[in-house]
Homo-oligomer: A and B are copies of this chain.
Amino acid sequence: MSSEPGDRATSSWPDLSEVARDVLLEVLIHGPLSRAEIAHRLRLSRPTLTRVTRVLVRGGLLVEGAAAKPRSSAGRPAEMLHVRGAAHHFLGVKLTAERLFATVTDLTATPVETTDEALRSHEPDQVVAQIAEVAATFPGITGIGVALGGIVLDGLVARHEFLHWTDVPLKAAVSRATGLPTAVDNDVQALTTAQHWFGPGAGLRSMAVITVGAGVGTGLIVNGALVEGSHGLPPHFSHTLVGRDGPQCGCGRRGCISSFLMTHVMLRRLSGHPTYAEALDRVRAGDPQARQVFDEAGYALGVLIGTVANVTDPQKVLLTGDGLPLYEIASRHVHDGIGDTYEDDPDLLELDVQPFDFSEWARSGAVLAIKATITGDIVEGRTDQVGTSRPTAGRSAGR
C-alpha cells in the first residue's frame, strides 16, 4: 500500500472529477497553497478538500512541501500543496513559415528541453508528419499543443497566410499522427493564455497582452477567460490610426499603428539595409534618423496600449515580445503615446514589461496542451457543446 507504482511519470492523464480539476488548477496558478486556503478560495468544504487532495496526492499530481513563508502566527503550520511538475510532460510546437520550434515542459509549464529545426515543407501533411517525428523523440508526453500565426477555430486552421493554408484540420491530423491529445490555437492567443496561467497575469480577471515582434499582436482576458472571436479572429487593433502622418501601410492608409511598428517597415525607412540589431545600435549611437523611427514606433506602441486599455479597462497590460528593445530605447515616447490616448487616470493603468525569449512561443504551445488536458477539452475532437450561450450573471458569474 505504501509503495505505489506511481512514482515515475505516467503518460496517461488520470480521470479527474470536476472538483479535482478545479483544485489542481488553483494550485497550479496560485502556487503552493494549504488545504484550508484552497477550501476557502474554492468555497469547498473541508471533507471535500480532504477527499479530493487525497486523490491528487495519490495520483502524483500534488505533493506536500514546505511553505515559502512560515505564516507568522501560532498553531500547527499548514501543509503546503505543490504541483508535482514531473508527473506529466507536454510538447509545445510553434510553427513559423521556415522553422518548427519545439519545447517540452512539465506540468507547471517549466521548460525541460528545447529544439528547433527547419520546416521541410509547407504541405499540411508534411508538416503534420514532421511534428509527429519530433513528438516521437520525446516519449512519455501527455499531450501536444501547436501554436501558429493563423486563424484557428476549434482546432481547424481556417487561414494561415505564411503557410498558405486554408481550412486545415490540424488538431485532428496531429492527434491522429501521434496518437496523443492535441490542442491548436493562434500563437498570440496561446501566449496570452500562457501569461494568464503561468505568467505575471496568473489568475487575473482581466488583462491585455501586447506582443511586439515582426508585427504586433494583442490578446485579451476578460472575466477570467480568453476573448476568442466568434469566427476565430483574435482581437486586432493594428490598423487603428496613430494620429500622426506616417509610413504607408499594407492596408492602404498611412499612419496605422502597425505601419509604425512592423519591423520591415521600420527598417525600410533607414538608409542602407540594416538588420534590426544594427538599427538598434544606430539608435544607441545617436543616429537621428534611426532615433526618429524608433521614437515614432514607441509612440505608436503607446497609442496601442492606451487604446487597448480604453476598451477593456484591464487590471494589467502586459508588454512582451522579441521587439521589446523598442520599449527600452523609446519608453518615454511609449508613455507619451499612452498619455495622449488613455482617457482615464494614468494611475489605473498597470503596465508590466516582461522579458521575452523566442522559445516562449513554443512554451505557449505546451500551455495550450496543459490547459486542454486539465479542463478536459482535449478528450476527443468534440466541439458540439460549445454554445449553451445563456447570458451569465455578470460579475458574479464565477460558478
Contacts and interface: CB of A to CB of B under 8 A. Distances in A.
A220 B310 CA distance: 13
A390 interface: yes
Given A222-B227, A231-B348, A233-B313, A377 B393 contact: yes
B227 A391 contact: no
Number of copies: 2
Interface stretch (A81-89, A196-204, A273-281): A196-204
Interface in A369-399: 371, 375-377, 385-399
A270 interface: no
Given A243-B253, A391-B221, A314 B230 contact: yes
A224 B193 CA distance: 19
A42 B313 CA distance: 32
Interface string A202-242: 01111000000000000011111111111111111101111
Nearest to A228: B395
Interface string A320-344: 0000000000000000000011011
A388 B234 CA distance: 26
Nearest to A231: B348
A187 to B, nearest CB: 16
Contact of A239 (B224, B236, B343): B343
A251 interface: yes
Nearest to A154: B395
Interface string A342-373: 01100010000000000000000000000100
Given A236-B343, A311-B311, A391-B29, A223 B227 contact: yes
Given A227-B223, A390-B224, A394-B371, A237 B311 contact: yes
A238 to B, nearest CB: 8
A312 interface: yes
A223 B222 contact: yes
Interface residues of A, number: 72
A116 interface: no
A96 interface: no
A26 to B, nearest CB: 6
A385 B390 contact: no
A205 B224 contact: no
Given A230-B315, A310-B237, A312-B229, A251 B343 contact: yes
A396 B253 CA distance: 39
Given A230-B314, A377-B393, A388 B206 contact: no
B203 A391 contact: yes
A25 interface: yes
Contacts of A240: 240-241, 307
B239 A241 contact: no
Interface in A2-25: 22, 25
A41 interface: yes
Contacts of A348: 231, 233
8 contacts: A222-B222, A223-B223, A223-B225, A223-B392, A225-B397, A233-B348, A235-B310, A240-B307
